[in-house]
Amino acid sequence: MAGTSCTQRRWLEGSRPQHALGEAVVSQGQYEPGTEVLEVPWAQLREQGADLSAVAVTGVTLDADYRTRLLPLVHALENGTDVPRYHPVRHSLVARLPQDWTRPRAQRLERLIDRLGLATVVCVAALRSWPRLAHLTLAMLPSEPSATATVGLTSLPVTFDGLFLGSRRTVGRGYAVARLATEEARVLASLRQDLGSTPPRPLMSGMLHLRRDVQGGSDEASRLSQLLKEADQLLRAELRLTDFVWNATQDDMILTARQRTARLSLPATDPTAAGTS
């Protein structure tokens, strides 16, 4: 496995990691390396993203990268055609979101899209797919994990904090944004470091996809603003995630994903397992 550090190899080859919630060491500073983006994601996102309260005035212009990478996937979903794929395959560790949380929110937003007459603006097919695809990317991997690789997390409590409407390269995509408490952020940041996952990135689940530009000051922009504000309120909750999978995909909506359950190295029923070797 050329180019992979000894620490990364221990994870990818299945050696038992020492990352259980509760083991993190308190830092002398406010944030340990890699934790700030997990604890306070909005500090970074607000500098990059569209202001939801201003959409009625400014409208939304899809950026070139969104048009190239994501819009073809939107069209493939709508038309039932094959999904454009990139190479090579990208590997990651993801936490799937529970469908009993995502499905009613997707259904409520679909009804609102219909009532507001926004089906030509927002991709309904993508929204319908979100409950089965919904996930948070915990770590990007430098290579495919081995068949015996394990994850030292039994669960991950997250707090969803509303909707983020894209940034450079993703203007046109709406994300459910999650943050972690300090202890969990330290654990995940350490796990990311061991897996060779860089750069630090917030926890977000892409769930709304625009189909085209919306002109600022238009009635359509006003209606889109209503939808986004409703989504922002719906995407606020505290969840405990327990479904971790190794993910391999060739597209940015994981429509082509191959997934396998990530084996847990620290059984939740055995509290003495934490810290043992």
Reduced to 3 DSSP states, what percent helix, strand and coil does the chain have, rounded to the nearest 5?
35, 25, 40
| Nearest of 239, 155, 162, 256 to residue 202 by alpha carbon | 162
Pair of tokens at residue 43:
């500090």
In this predicted structure, the answer to whether residue 84 has a pLDDT above a threshold of 60 is yes
Q: Which residue has the tokens 């999650």?
A: 178
Quote the CA–CA distance of 243 and 276 in Å, as a whole number. Answer: 23
Residue 30 vs residue 223, higher pLDDT: 223
Across 74-78, 138-142, 149-153, 208-212, least confident range: 149-153
Q: 222 pairs with which residues across the strands?
A: none
pLDDT tens digits, one per residue of 195-210: 899 888 999 999 999 9
The alpha helices in the chain, defined as continuous H runs, are 6-12, 36-39, 41-48, 55-58, 64-69, 71-79, 99-116, 124-133, 182-195, 219-234
pLDDT tens digits, one per residue of 117-148: 999 999 999 999 999 999 999 999 999 999 99
Across 86-90, 147-151, 155-159, least confident range: 147-151
Across 18-27, 32-41, 178-187, 227-236, least confident range: 18-27
Strand order in the sheet with 90-96: 135-141, 90-96, 244-249, 258-261
Quote the CA–CA distance of 133 and 275 in Å, as a whole number. Answer: 33
Quote the CA–CA distance of 193 and 207 in Å, as a whole number. Answer: 27
Q: 94 pairs with which residues across the strands?
A: 137, 245
Q: 137 pairs with which residues across the strands?
A: 94
Quote the CA–CA distance of 258 and 269 in Å, as a whole number. Answer: 29
Which string of DSSP letters, residue by residue, matches 107-136?
HHHHHHHHHHT-TTTB-HHHHHHHHHH-EE
CB 124 within 8 A of CB 113: yes
In this predicted structure, the answer to whether residue 270 has a pLDDT above a threshold of 90 is no
In this predicted structure, the answer to whether residue 217 has a pLDDT above a threshold of 60 is yes
CA 64 vs. chain centroid, Å, equals 21
Reported residue count of the chain is: 277
Domain ranges across the chain: 32-263
